[in-house]
């Protein structure tokens, strides 16, 4: 048995940024257009008008101030309201692969490794741009990695589930070095025309290198243990799938083919589920002095509740870092962004926990110790 460790992490951040003010201006123009087109139906009471959004509403509801996206031109066009990405040829690397390789290269550099040193690639994300061949195998090829690769989808929990899978294989000796990468193009499966959720997501890619601690070339985080759990719920759902052609209504887009959630129920049910999961994990390991919580970045209020429950008090500045205000919800990548940006200051022997959670419901936690 070998001791797995995180020896490197990396983040790819798209150059384009959409502020809340920009997003609100675009959404309200769309709302005005729809309301004007349906003025008679609205006046007759047959249709409700599309309400305006506001930056104040967005920040109060989520804590988000801006988000990074691959393309803002389409998202902000009231006649389009989705990203406009060039169709890639089959002989070109996919968009997710391109993002992933950037994040992987940064993680490998931090670990002092080359792509050829890797013998497992896991692409763990909330959506894949195609069914097959696996995006992970394309990433493997672009990195020049050996061994094998596969895709994994556990929605917003994908990163921690991927780390558990990689850590288990490193621990058993079936692989020596792995990279778990989370390319998230959330702008592609968000309904930007829905006031209740149009502000939630952003695009990003993250990567973590997991290898035997004995092979580490510098400082590292020993993976003490991992824990994952799932419980079925329809409260976060996306019904887009390959059987859409078989439906009587054909292939036309429907609202449920994008991100859907019952936010109030999610908050009420996920907060206690995640808090209990983390506390049970720490108790099982006999740890009461966890120094840092790197949480899934979905909602500031949600994280504040979880952090207070797990710590038994309001977390002090830096104990539960938030990147939500700058990145928005980046699905599986959020907790890894927080880890990558806010982990260097931990001292040897101090503990931290990475935790991601979301659709499924699903929750995964990774307990680490600084070396």
For the chain, what is the radius of gyration of the CA atoms? Answer: 21
Single pTM value for the model: 0.95
Choosing from 156, 186, 228, 355, the catalytic residue is 156
Residue 229 β-bridge partners: 363
Q: Quick one: which H or E segment has residue 100?
A: helix 95-111
Phi-psi region of 343 (alpha: psi -120 to 50; beta: other; left: phi over 0): alpha
* Cβ contacts of 294 within 8 Å, gap of 6 or more: 321, 335, 336, 338, 339, 342, 343, 352, 353, 354, 355
Cα distance between residue 332 and residue 330, in whole Å: 6
Please confirm, yes or no, whether 156 is among the known catalytic residues: yes
Whether cis (ω within 30° of 0) applies to the bond prior to 361 is yes
Q: What is the pLDDT along the chain (371 residues), one digit of tens a residue?
A: 999 999 999 999 999 999 999 999 999 999 999 999 999 999 999 999 999 999 999 999 999 999 999 999 999 999 999 999 999 999 999 999 999 999 999 999 999 999 999 999 999 999 999 999 999 999 999 999 999 999 999 999 999 999 999 999 999 999 999 999 999 999 999 999 999 999 999 999 999 999 999 999 999 999 999 999 999 999 988 878 888 778 777 667 777 778 888 888 999 999 999 999 999 999 999 999 999 999 999 999 999 999 999 999 999 989 999 999 999 999 999 999 999 999 999 999 999 999 999 999 999 999 999 99
In the chain, where the domains are located: 222-370
Helix axes 263-284, 300-311, angle to 10 degrees: 30
* 304 closest CA partner among 284, 319, 289, 287: 319
Asked whether 179 and 10 are in contact (CB, 8 A), the reply is: no
Burial of residue 285, with CB atoms counted within 10 A of its CB: 0-12 exposed, 13-18 middle, 19 or more buried: middle
* 342 closest CA partner among 327, 357, 363: 327
CATH, domain 222-370, list 3.90.1640.10, 3.30.470.20, 3.40.47.10, 3.40.50.720:
3.40.47.10
């Amino acid at each position: 048995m070998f001791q797995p460790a995180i020896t490197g992490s990396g983040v790819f951040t798209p150059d384009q940024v959409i502020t809340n003010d920009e997003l609100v201006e675009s959404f309200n123009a769309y709302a005005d257009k729809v309301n004007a087109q349906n003025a008679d139906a609205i006046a007759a009471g047959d249709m409700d008008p599309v309400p305006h959004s506001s930056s104040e509403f967005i920040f109060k509801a989520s804590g988000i101030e801006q988000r990074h996206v691959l393309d803002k031109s389409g998202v902000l066009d009231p006649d389009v309201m989705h990203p406009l990405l060039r169709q890639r040829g089959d002989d070109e690397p996919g968009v997710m692969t391109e993002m992933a390789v950037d994040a992987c290269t940064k993680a490998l550099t931090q670990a002092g490794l080359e792509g050829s040193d890797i013998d497992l690639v896991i692409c763990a994300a909330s959506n894949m741009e195609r069914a097959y061949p696996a995006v992970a195998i394309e990433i493997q090829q672009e990195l020049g990695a050996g061994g094998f690769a596969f895709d994994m989808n556990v929605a917003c929990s994908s990163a921690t589930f991927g780390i558990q899978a990689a850590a288990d294989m490193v621990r058993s000796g079936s692989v020596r070095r792995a990279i778990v990468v989370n390319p998230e193009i959330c702008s592609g499966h968000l309904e930007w025309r829905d006031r209740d959720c149009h502000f939630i997501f952003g695009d990003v890619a993250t990567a973590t290198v997991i290898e035997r601690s004995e092979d580490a070339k510098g400082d590292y985080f020993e993976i003490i243990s991992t824990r994952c759990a799932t419980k079925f719920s329809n409260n976060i759902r996306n019904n887009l799938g390959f059987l859409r052609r078989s439906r009587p209504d054909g292939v036309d887009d429907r609202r449920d083919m994008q991100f859907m959630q019952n936010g109030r129920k999610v908050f009420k049910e996920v907060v206690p589920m995640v808090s209990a999961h983390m506390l049970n994990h720490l108790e099982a390991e006999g740890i009461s002095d966890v120094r840092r919580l790197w949480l899934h970045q979905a909602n500031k209020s949600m994280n504040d509740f979880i952090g207070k429950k797990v710590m038994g008090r309001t977390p002090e500045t830096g104990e539960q870092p938030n990147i939500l205000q700058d990145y928005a919800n980046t699905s599986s990548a959020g907790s890894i962004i927080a880890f990558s940006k806010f982990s260097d200051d931990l001292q040897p022997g101090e503990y931290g926990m990475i935790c991601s959670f979301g659709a499924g419901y699903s929750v995964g936690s990774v307990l680490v110790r600084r070396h």
